[in-house]
Structure formats: structure tokens, C-alpha cells
Amino acid sequence: MRTGRIIKALSGFYYIKVDEEVYQTRARGIFRKSGMNSPLVGDIVDFESDNLTEGTLTTIHERKNALKRPQVANVDQMLITMSLKSPDFSFYLTDRFIAYSESFDIEPVLIITKKDLNTDEALIEKIKETYKMYKIFFTSKEHFDEDLREVFTDKLSVLAGQTGVGKSTLLNTLLPKLGLETGEVSKALGRGKHTTRHVELVEKNGGLVADTPGFSTIEFTHIEKEALKYCFIDFDMPSESCKFRGCNHINEPKCGVKSAVESEDINRTRYESYLQIYEEIENYKERY
């Protein structure tokens, strides 16, 4: 019995890396017959194999998390890619991706592209202040932040972000051998064309990154509305002064989070994003 990580899944085969070797395997029929979770790229698994091409995947180890799009398990960090221009930066969309990342216990890392197209320095300062609790990198075609390469070390990373912000371009810069097709931004729609492919984990600076442009749309059907507040980590400390245990920071009196918003210790755009997502989750539950 061997143990390794699935780095690629394609046409019913699972490619498992152990040290420097990659084994081609198929999953045991029990995964299909019993309704068990199918193996995902990123899974740590046990398998049996006498050679590199005829192995059998037998066991999936417990996962830290599992995303549906892209289908990757045990993700350590999400590289949330947003642009300053074309399309314009959106605090609300950024907050959505951050909350989504936090809901899976994945560390958010913000990558802000197209800095060369922005002339509003106040916007950059507002972004830095709003998201000072996270790592933030600013890039452009002319200037790539070399420090960004170091965030991969000992991490499994995926990309996420609004369509057309340059996720494929960013991946091509980080992983030049990929040659991902980049979608041009539609001037009429203000968003880009989707470019997709199967998921494969590629080694980068001592870590692994999913070689896919990631995803641009998300839903919060997987969490309860009462859990959303834990996905806004800047609420944690102010919430300690809430009068009521279990305060959701909506209509409750003597709420520490609402007080922090009024005193500008919490950015109001963050709180407004929270309210919108909370209402969205509430509507999900009413509908289903």
C-alpha cells in the first residue's frame, strides 16, 4: 500500500504523486457503488500498485475541504484576483470571494491586477486599508510583484475572481509552460469570456497550484446564515462586546459590530456586503 496526492484526474484515471514518481490509477468500484465521495484532485489517498501505469486507488484520507469549482480538495489558500480597471474594482465581489474562502477554512490572498490602468491612488489606499488583515499584491503588465511567487511555498493554491480580471494571464506569468488561453474582455458586457480546462496541480516554488483560471461565480448554499459572521474575521474582536450571545449583527441592540461600523473600526462597505450575503442565504433557505 502506498500513500500520495492526486495531482490530476482525467478520463477516469487518477494520477497520484509520491515523491518524484507519478502513478496512473483507477478508483475501486466501491466509490461508485456505495455513493461515496469520488476522488478529487488534491486528495491524499492510499493505493495499490506494482508499476507506474496500473494502480488501484483504495482509500481517500479525510479532507480539510473540497471545492466544486474547480474540483479540488485540501486547498490551503485562494488567490482572489480582482482588477482596478476593466472591469472596475468591486468591494462587494471581493468580500464575496473572501467570505467564500473563509467558509471553507481557506486563507484568502488578494491579487489586484491592472495597476497600470488605474489613476486613482485613493482607491488603492482604500483597498489596502479595507483588507489590511490579508496579504495583498498589486500587479500590472509592466510590473509583476516578485514577492507573489513566494506565497506558494508549502501551500495548495487555487485562483478565483471576477471574469476578465486577468486570472489566466496571471497564471501564465507564474507558470509560463501552461500557455492558458486568455479570454478577451468584452467591451459591450464589461466582462471576459470563460476559458476552462481539466484541473491539474503544478509545482510552484515549493507548493502546488491548480492550473485552471479558477471560477468567477459563487453561491453560499453550503453554510447557514448564522455562520456567515465567522467568515468576516474583522468582526471577531468587536463581536466580543455584543450584549447577546449568538448576535448576528443585524437588528440586535447593543451590538459590538454595529458600533464598530459607526466608529469606522470596521469598514462600512464590509458590513454592507455582509448584510447582502446574509439576506441571500436567508432567501436560499426560504426557497428550499
d(CA 265, CA 257): 9
Amino acid at 243: K
d(CA 134, CA 130): 9
Helix extents (H) in the chain: 30-33, 91-103, 121-130, 167-174, 236-239, 256-262, 268-287
**Closest by CA position to 156, among listed 41, 60, 77, 215:** 77
- To which residue does cell 485562494 refer? 78
**Closest by CA position to 172, among listed 144, 137, 151, 193:** 144
Query: Distance between alpha carbon 141 and the CA centroid of its chain, in Å?
Result: 23
Say how many residues make up the chain.
288
Q: Which residues are annotated as a binding site for Zn(2+)?
A: 242, 247, 249, 255
**Closest by CA position to 162, among listed 189, 128, 140:** 189
Q: Which residues are annotated as a binding site for GTP?
A: 113-116, 161-169
Q: Spell 254-264 as b/e; 16+ CB within 10 A means b.
A: ebbbbebbeee
Q: Which residues are annotated as a binding site?
A: 113-116, 161-169, 242, 247, 249, 255
Q: Which residues pair with 46 in a beta bridge?
A: 3, 59
Cis peptide before 70 (omega within 30 of 0): yes
